[in-house]
Amino acid sequence: MREATAFVPGHVTGFFAPNPHEDPLRAGSRGGGVALTDGVDVTVSEGSGVTLDGDPVEVASVERVLAALDVEARVDCETPLPLGVGFGVSGAMALGTALAAAAAFDLERSENELVGVAHRAEVNAGTGLGDVVAQARGGVPLRVEPGGPEHGEMDGVPGRSRVEYLPLGELSTADTLAGDTDALATAGERALARVHETPTLATFADASRSFAEAVGLLTDDLRDVLAAVDDVGGTASMAMLGETAFCLGDGLSAAGYDPAVCEIHPAGAVLR
């Protein structure tokens, strides 16, 4: 075929507990998030270089996927999502590269193998711990056990909803994960247990918000936005890890902001 395109949904993590492990296929995170209809189209073809919305970029997870699959290729990505503010764009680029490269170059890998390649690339690049497996699944994925498809275990919260999001600024995943992660782990496990016990969108929104409050990553700007959404009866929270507010429903627009609007993407990554 020599050219193929994959669509990978964006993914906002609401809460997580990092689970480091020396084997990247066992490393990852427990937690929960939302797959978004706003995602990344990744086209792999003969050539070289990586572009994002037409601009050349260097994305370590994509380079690692190509190396793991032993292919040289050109990777062109198109997305309405901003990079580096909590939407799993690097994970989507990695997963989309794996899926589209396998189709373009007839690589004879199973879907789990390809997801595993992308997960390992993302973990080793230090840019994410759970986006890839969540993006492979879609919906409102719960990472019940960490790791790639061989070792991890997923569940999901049923439901469809409008999703609004408002990026305010960047936050380095690598820096945050390099810091003290005990508070993250405790709050993340608590949130996951709560949502797994009562798997509804309302509980997911609440647990995400409680997690954001507990782990001390909220900036003053984010606090202002979340409080404004509270005032109109909504529940917004923070996209982990970015200075980005998100909510299920229309809380951000009801509070007078001008958020981007999409929906929960019910399915995982697919070849176009």
- According to CB under 8 A, which one of 108, 180, 220, 258 is a site residue for its own copies? 108
Binding mask 20-59 for its own copies (x = CB under 8 A): ----------------------------------------
d(CA 240, CA 163): 15
For its own copies, give the closer residue by CB, 99 or 229: 99
- According to CB under 8 A, which one of 20, 80, 126, 159 is a site residue for its own copies? 159
At position 219, the amino acid (one-letter code) is T
CB of 56 to its own copies, least distance (A): 28
d(CA 168, CA 265): 23
**Which among 56-64, 107-115, 168-176, 241-249 is the span making contact with its own copies, rule CB under 8 A?**
107-115
- By C-alpha distance, which of 84, 7, 91, 80 is closest to 43? 7
How many alpha carbons lie under 13 Å from residue 190 in its C-beta half-sphere? 16
- Indicate whether 112 belongs to the interface with its own copies (CB under 8 A): yes
Q: Extract the tokens encoding 90.
A: 């690097």
Question: Reduced to 3 states, what is the DSSP secondary structure of residue 242?
Answer: coil
- Contact call for residues 156 and 140 (beta carbons, < 8 A): yes
CB of 271 to its own copies, least distance (A): 5
- Indicate whether 149 belongs to the interface with its own copies (CB under 8 A): yes
- According to CB under 8 A, which one of 46, 53, 106, 231 is a site residue for its own copies? 106
Q: What angle do CA 31, 25, 124 make, to 5 degrees?
A: 90
How many alpha carbons lie under 13 Å from residue 68 in its C-beta half-sphere? 26
For its own copies, give the closer residue by CB, 43 or 173: 43
CB of 11 to its own copies, least distance (A): 16
Q: Extract the tokens encoding 139.
A: 């919906």
- By C-alpha distance, which of 31, 270, 234, 10 is closest to 146? 31
- According to CB under 8 A, which one of 12, 34, 99, 129 is a site residue for its own copies? 99
Q: Extract the tokens encoding 262.
A: 């999409």
| Residues paired with 154 in a beta bridge | 143
- According to CB under 8 A, which one of 114, 184, 215, 248 is a site residue for its own copies? 114
**Which among 33-41, 110-118, 166-174, 255-263 is the span making contact with its own copies, rule CB under 8 A?**
110-118
C-beta neighbour count of 211 within 10 angstroms: 27
- According to CB under 8 A, which one of 20, 82, 126, 199 is a site residue for its own copies? 199
- Contact call for residues 66 and 94 (beta carbons, < 8 A): no
CB of 203 to its own copies, least distance (A): 8
- Indicate whether 234 belongs to the interface with its own copies (CB under 8 A): no
- According to CB under 8 A, which one of 21, 110, 172, 216 is a site residue for its own copies? 110
| Site for its own copies, rule CB under 8 A | 99, 102-103, 106, 108-114, 138-139, 142, 149, 155-160, 196, 198-200, 266-268, 270-272
